[in-house]
Amino acid sequence: MDESSHPGAARRLTARGAKTRSKIVATAADLMRVRGVGGTTLDDVVSASKVSKSQLYRHFDDKPALVRAVIEYVGDIKISGERERLENVRSFAGLRRWRDAIVETNALQDGRYGCSLGSLANEVADQDWVARLKLSELFDAWEELFRVVFRRFQLEGTIPPQADVDRLAIGFIAAVQGGYLLAQTSHDVAPMATAIDVAIAHLELLALVDEKTLNQLSV
């Protein structure tokens, strides 16, 4: 268990210690983003963060403890960024602007490395149950952001009130994650854009169907 997970650790950690810990976690996140969790060693983190090995072990007992901290760090950045992008989405035009933003961001690296959360989940979810639960919580939080958007669409009459926002949210997460994976393997964001476009097109079709048809589709 790393130092920050102990009760009262936040009070015991000095400002200098907190700064060192943050530096270690941020450096590890950058390395794992490019090299993967399996391709990043603690020695790599020590070297890149320019801290001593004793400093690293003062904050983290082992690599799994550091990986869990990286998941929290990456998750906070990802969810806060998505919250900021989605909180004012009230129309299909707004949803397309959200789509453009995440596709353009991924295009800066030609689609390499995939989704920051998805890549971590792929590597550690079956190896560390604590990490898996944290990742599950983060994906639930991401899904909830979409649920809020779709409930807003319902209130404003953009999509039918009978539409299942839970299924729609899961579908959008799946489209985004699948798009990231396709972009990563091809080093091209075009498949990602297409995957999200199809998800948006499904929503647009919902706005055109009547209640009887919607019930038959079980959306």
- Domain 68-217, CATH number (from 3.40.50.300, 3.30.70.890, 3.100.10.20, 1.10.357.10): 1.10.357.10
The rounded distance, in Å, linking the Cα atoms of 38 and 123 is 8
Q: CA gyration radius for the chain? A: 20
pLDDT in tens, the chain (219 residues): 444 444 334 447 788 889 999 999 999 999 999 999 999 999 999 999 999 999 999 999 999 999 999 999 999 999 999 999 999 999 999 999 999 999 999 999 898 999 999 999 999 999 999 999 999 999 999 999 999 999 999 999 999 999 999 999 999 999 999 999 999 999 999 999 999 999 999 999 998 875 555 555 554
How many other CB atoms are there within 10 angstroms of residue 133's CB atom? 12
Which pair of structure tokens corresponds to residue 160? 């039918």
Residues 6+ apart with CB under 8 A from 197: 99
How do the domains of the chain map onto residue ranges? Answer: 1-61, 68-217
Taking 3-state DSSP, the helix, strand and coil percentages for the chain, each rounded to the nearest 5, stand at 75, 0, 25
The rounded distance, in Å, linking the Cα atoms of 31 and 170 is 29
Type and span of the H or E element at 77: helix 63-86
Per CATH, which fold does 1-61 belong to? Arc Repressor Mutant, subunit A (1.10.10)
Q: What is the pLDDT of residue 208?
A: 85
